[in-house]
Structure 1
């Protein structure tokens, strides 16, 4: 059922299980993955929260250390990207290294984790739009109305060409970065009463009971760079571009986050930053910016704070749609999800699925919120915090398992000696990631702002555990019931190319003897 003229990819048979190739280059890919990290959301929301809740003054040093750990992770992960080009990314890598059943488990975890992170942002997005409408227009708008409107816009963009989405993400990301850099320069040029202190880079500032939880928050700020392999099938020269995008994304994020966190520290003062963050919360950045750059700049920054959330939602939406496409193509989800839209070549059915899930979750949270207008409890402290932390836990877990898969993949192929330095980097990264996972689960009540006796501290991280179990059981069932489909897990379009070659070979008459 081919499109025939090559202008449309609308079925899920044969070669058309592939996404449209050559859509984006290095620049577009880099912008797409960096947008997921929502720089302005991190600086205005995550950093003040980390200062306030954990009391860790050395947050800038924390970003440097995490940047090093994630660069080590990227060494092996990037090398794997040269050998495996599959929109299933994490689960495809894990399947190729640890086997199809492990890949099936990882596929469900990835789908749940990235869906949770995207849907969570809808909560804080709706709350911020509601607040802006009230403050500037005098309109009382329930948070879930702008959230649902955002679902519709994101869904349309997800249905269209990936290069169009990349352009939208690129513009929004560039503005976010420029705004934060202007603040950084102003803060460093006009520091607080303690001057240009480097105390935040003193290892002694990391001491304290909140270090483990601070690691979790800081890690979430980097999420996005690992998504580059998801677009491998749609990039030009994926064996080169994907690896470059990952290294550039991690390097940029580490530098940007460390500098911006230090700028906040300097503007407020190392001895005051924790107390100021506790007092002003997410308003800290805007208050410090207003004092140095004026009310107009602070208001514009607040506006792009919202557009940055939109960029992150679109980026995560594109990733989830591609995971769903890859899973549909390989029989882990209904095969209809392995369709791409005619004309754009985007995973349209996967995009529709993620839009439907987002609407369902928003409706549930809206229905359980007795006072939606102007009440941050449901959209921010519940939807955003719950879903965001569940998603971050899932991604950290996937990265740890993927590090092991990289080692096994090359070792089984007799390349352990040639890849020894890369495998060593993966091993060190895995140890660091497992440590963060342990701290995340142990301190999940702190992440949620719930009491130690709260059932949520185990129920929410249990979502990731349940997803892994469901995926593993599904993989075992496939191995028993549909062994051919089980063997294809992680192979992507390559499996169908191999099948076609095998079929053609079987149909070819044997060569005459003698």
Structure 2
């Protein structure tokens, strides 16, 4: 059942089957920033990007920020028109129909679960190294650390979203402070006449494709603001503000951090230094600039940063699982709402169980933990990127269809979606062309994971047609809304 108010397509939901929370703009932004894991990105991903981009990295971040702000224009307008908490699931359904919507929902669910599985192995290796090398403690097998972090994030995700928001806010402020201190020290130590130079990228730059791909991946999470519609105060105001703040905040934060590396290492040297010392570039730089104690504090906050990122991703994945189950596309138990916390507690536990099983299986078959996180994050990133491209196209189609009876701003509903389709289409092409580097795997693994990703979307379409034929009452609910096609 649904109702329509002022052009909005709104599903009718009782209080018992609705999630609930009290997040404001700041807390929602912190949830988004936690996804990208600022300290993990600056210490881990950014040196890899510098390897491909050199001193053009800050310019690349500014370019991507501009493009994603344009994407956000249509995205935010869509969030006000499609008043449903299903995120991209609802948006793709509204624009391209229920079969495509269900395919998109499966891409989102599996993509976020895959991305989140980067954390147990990376957390374990980072904590294991700190315990053994810094504290002189025992060498505990990595999988115990991995299972431990899954337990902690699942307990937090089980509870009301406000608890996760408070934890994430504290962690984000602490790790952001470490990066800011590093930035200030780097600029203070650099040669002002040489080090602070950076230039915008050019189309002929050799590593531009991979650099753009890594940069866009650092923004992931901002698109999930709409999934929390039922859990924020005044969603029509909070979601747009949080979306724009998140995109601008992420872009400027990483652009300045990349610029700080350039200031410290020198514009002519930064790319070579990143190639020679990719893994320890931040830690060695922090030690040289501020001291060993500061670097050790950075490692501790890096550990909590990974936990915060995993928690943010688990919250998003659980809400996609909840939305699919509430519509009947997944077992209804996954759509259960905790009577006190008003959280999707069964779905949150379900995501945790998937990660536990995967950790146990990969341990038993002898897969090294350092091989897990690039595969998990790379394959999941491609799924979400493909979904963002599909969503940008769905937004364009949705507003083009409405122009005959409800015309709106050409900039918001036509121009910005077209620019988004072109930009995200280019990034998706780059991801396909550079997939082996994205997952750090072989040609065989590339074929397997890429085929699996496209099969998810196609499988969702096939499943939707099955539901239309065999379970029309479930089909009618797909997309968290009833849409007149």
TM-score band (shorter)? over 0.9
2:316 is equivalent to residue 319 of structure 1: yes
Say if 1:194 and 1:266, in contact at 8 Å, map to a contact too: no
Question: 2:60·2:201 contact (CA, 8 Å) conserved in 1?
Answer: no
Q: 1-side partners of 2:25 and 2:438: how far apart? A: 35
Give the structure 1 partner of residue 96 of structure 2.
Answer: 98
Aligned to 2:6: none
Alpha-carbon displacement from aligned partner over 1:409-446 (angstroms, at most 9, x marks no partner) = 22323367423101211110111101111111111122
CA distance in 2, matches of 1:104, 1:474: 8
The whole-number CA distance in structure 2 between the counterparts of 1:25 and 1:202 is 36
- Would you say the 8 A contact 1:444–1:457 is kept in 2? yes
Matches within 5 A, 1:142-153: 142-153=141-152
In the other structure, the counterpart of 1:16 is: 16
Tell me which structure has the larger Cα radius of gyration: 1
Q: How many residues align?
A: 470
Answer whether contact 2:225 2:243 (CA < 8 A) is retained.
yes
Counterpart for residue 471 of structure 2: 482
- Which residue of structure 1 aligns with residue 420 of structure 2? 429
More off after superposition, 259-268 vs 462-471: 462-471
User: Residue 442 of structure 1 aligns with which residue?
Assistant: 433
Residue 404 (structure 1) aligned to one of 393, 402, 419: 393
Would you say 1:49 and 2:48 are equivalent positions?
A: yes
Contact in 2 for aligned 1:410/1:419 (Cα 8 Å):
no
Contact 1:85 1:233 in 2 (8 A): no
Q: 2:409 is matched with which residue?
A: 419
* Shift of residue 142, structure 1, vs aligned partner: 1.5
- Residue 259 (structure 1) aligned with residue 256 (structure 2): yes
Shift of 1:203: 3.2
Counterpart in the other structure of 1:508:
none
Which is worse superposed, 270-279 or 255-264? 270-279
Per-residue deviation, 1:462: 2.1
- Alpha-carbon shift at residue 193 of structure 1 (Å): 9.0
2:62 counterpart of 1:71:
no
SS in 2 for 1:82: helix
Pick the aligned partner of 2:283 from 272, 283, 286.
286
Q: What is the rounded CA distance, in whole Å, between the counterparts of 2:214 and 2:81 in structure 1?
A: 32
- CA RMSD, aligned part only? 2.0
Please tell me whether the aligned partners of residues 179 and 301 of structure 1 are also in contact (alpha carbons under 8 angstroms). Answer: yes
Which range is displaced more, 404-413 or 290-299? 404-413
Q: Is the 8 A contact 2:54 2:270 kept in 1?
A: no
Separation (CA, whole Å) in 2 of partners of 1:108 and 1:450: 23
Equivalent residues of 1:155, 1:352 under 8 A apart: yes
Distance 1:440 1:433 in 2: 10
**Whole-angstrom distance in 1 between the partners of 2:148 and 2:208:** 38
Using the size of structure 2 for normalisation, the TM-score is 0.93
Q: Name the structure 2 match of 1:244.
A: 241
Is the Cα contact below 8 Å between 1:64 and 1:255 reproduced in 2?
A: yes
Cα gap change, 1:450/1:57 in structure 2, threshold over 3 Å: closer, same or farther? Answer: farther
Aligned to 1:36: 35
Counterpart selection for 1:379 from 354, 361, 369? 369
CA shift for structure 1 position 363: 1.3
Alpha-carbon distance, 1:470 to partner: 1.6
More divergent stretch after superposition (406-415 vs 73-82)? 406-415
Q: Is the 8 A contact 1:186 1:293 kept in 2?
A: yes
Q: Where does the alignment leave 5 or more consecutive residues of structure 2 unmatched?
A: 1-11
Partner Cα distance (2:449, 2:54) in 1: 25
